[in-house]
């Protein structure tokens, strides 16, 4: 008796499901989708740490997303949550601490919290990178003067070492930093993130900001709404990407960019099935 590994069986089942549920993906001409590692690959690595970015890059990923906060004394660091507790077990927040205090903090898996400089330096000699810097600002912790200094500092650091072949984006749910960067640095690539699906409302919000990239939820997004966004000149990026099925749905909807917490698993699956009768999609 021949024993087929469970992983291979699972991949075959997923591929078959994609063909049955989303036949337009297999039937269409080859499409390229930008896959990117959410927080460096939050379910596969220690999120938003250098080990995550290094691990996902070494696994073949060329798209990444990260989150930027600023310490009490003005150092830009990589961290998602408003509180340190989930990731480090410690109380407090990035904004309440100095870099001297924060530099000794470790995640529960033993990794230091990186600075923006460390991430930028890591990608500075790498070509063809897609990298989102999400600005984790809010009105309480980032009043106008502080917000503007944060944006200026982030823009200067991000653009100083960006390879010509790479795409670096400034993204946020908060419209204030997007408006400020648009007014101050009109050459900047930006993406507006919303907790809503792609629809007439969110496309209009994106265009009103002078932006042509929309980050929205898979839940509630339709193929028709993505087509309408494209017709309006807006690229669509969808989240969350917690499973292979989420990626498959995003491809079927016609999304241009897809976020994933399991980017290595997704890439391996796509590499296996792309340019076949099952899947006619490749990822960047």
DSSP string, 19-64: HHH-HHHHHSPPEEEEEEEETTTTTTSSTTSHHHHHHHHHTT--EE
Residue-level pLDDT at 226: 98
Residue 253 binned pLDDT confidence (cut-offs 50, 70, 90): very high
Mean pLDDT of 176-200: 98
Greatest Cα pair distance in the chain: 70
The rounded percent of the chain whose pLDDT value lies above 70 is: 87
From 15-24, 55-64, 113-122, 135-144, the region with the lowest mean pLDDT:
15-24
Q: Checking DSSP bridges between strand 213-217 and strand 167-172, what pairing results, if any?
A: unpaired
> What are the DSSP calls for 101-141, one per residue?
HHTT-B-TTSPBPPBHHHHHHHHTT-SS-EEEEEE---TTT
Is the predicted pLDDT of residue 19 greater than 60, yes or no? no
Mean pLDDT of 237-266: 97
- Rounded CA separation 123/159 (Å): 12
CB 112 within 8 A of CB 45: no
- Rounded CA separation 60/66 (Å): 17
pLDDT tens digits along 105-162: 999 999 999 999 999 999 999 999 999 999 999 999 999 999 999 999 999 999 999 9
Q: What CATH number should be reported for the domain whose range is 6-283?
A: 3.20.20.190
Mean pLDDT of 64-77: 98
- Rounded CA separation 266/272 (Å): 10
Domain boundaries, the chain: 6-283
CB 40 within 8 A of CB 47: yes
| Average pLDDT of the residues of the chain | 91
Residue-level pLDDT at 275: 64
Kindly state the helix (H) or strand (E) to which residue 236 belongs, with its residue range.
Answer: strand 235-239
Query: CA distances (Å), 181 to each of 76, 100, 116, in order?
Result: 17, 29, 18
CB 178 within 8 A of CB 148: no
Residue-level pLDDT at 207: 98
The rounded percent of the chain whose pLDDT value lies above 90 is: 84
Mean pLDDT of 207-225: 98
Residue-level pLDDT at 27: 43
Q: Give the number of C-alpha atoms closer than 13 A to the C-alpha of residue 7, restricted to the C-beta side.
A: 4
Residue 45, number of CB atoms within 10 A of its CB: 24
CB 65 within 8 A of CB 37: yes
More confident residue, 280 or 48: 48
- Rounded CA separation 227/224 (Å): 5
Give strand pairing partners of 115: 77
Residue-level pLDDT at 283: 84
Is the predicted pLDDT of residue 273 greater than 90, yes or no? no
Residue 74, number of CB atoms within 10 A of its CB: 12
Residue-level pLDDT at 276: 62
Residue 164 binned pLDDT confidence (cut-offs 50, 70, 90): very high
Is the predicted pLDDT of residue 26 greater than 80, yes or no? no
Mean pLDDT of 267-271: 93
């Amino acid at each position: 008796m021949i024993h087929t590994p469970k992983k291979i069986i699972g991949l075959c089942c997923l591929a078959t499901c994609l063909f049955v549920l989303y036949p337009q993906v297999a039937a269409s001409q080859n499409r390229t989708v930008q896959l990117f590692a959410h927080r460096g690959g939050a379910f596969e690595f220690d999120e938003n740490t250098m080990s995550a970015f290094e691990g996902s890059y070494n696994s073949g990923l060329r798209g990444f997303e990260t989150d930027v906060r600023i310490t009490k004394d003005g150092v830009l660091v990589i961290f998602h949550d408003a509180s340190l507790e989930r990731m480090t077990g410690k109380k407090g927040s990035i904004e309440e601490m100095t870099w001297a205090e924060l530099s000794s903090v470790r995640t529960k898996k033993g990794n230091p919290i990186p600075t923006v400089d460390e991430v930028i330096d890591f990608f500075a000699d790498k070509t063809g990178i897609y990298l989102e810097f999400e600005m984790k600002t809010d009105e309480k912790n980032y009043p106008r003067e502080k917000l503007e200094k944060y944006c200026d500092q982030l823009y200067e650091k991000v653009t100083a070492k960006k390879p010509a072949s790479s795409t670096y984006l400034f993204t946020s749910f908060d419209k204030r930093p997007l408006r400020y960067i648009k007014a101050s640095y009109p050459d900047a690539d930006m993406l507006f993130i919303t907790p809503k699906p792609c629809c007439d409302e969110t496309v209009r919000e994106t265009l009103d900001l002078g932006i042509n990239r929309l980050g929205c939820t898979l839940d509630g997004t339709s193929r028709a709404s993505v087509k309408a966004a494209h017709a309006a000149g807006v690229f669509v990026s969808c989240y969350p990407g917690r499973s292979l099925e989420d990626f498959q749905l995003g491809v079927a909807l016609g999304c241009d960019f897809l976020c994933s917490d399991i980017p290595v698993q997704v890439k391996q699956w796509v590499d296996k099935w792309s340019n076949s009768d099952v899947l006619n999609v490749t990822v960047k």
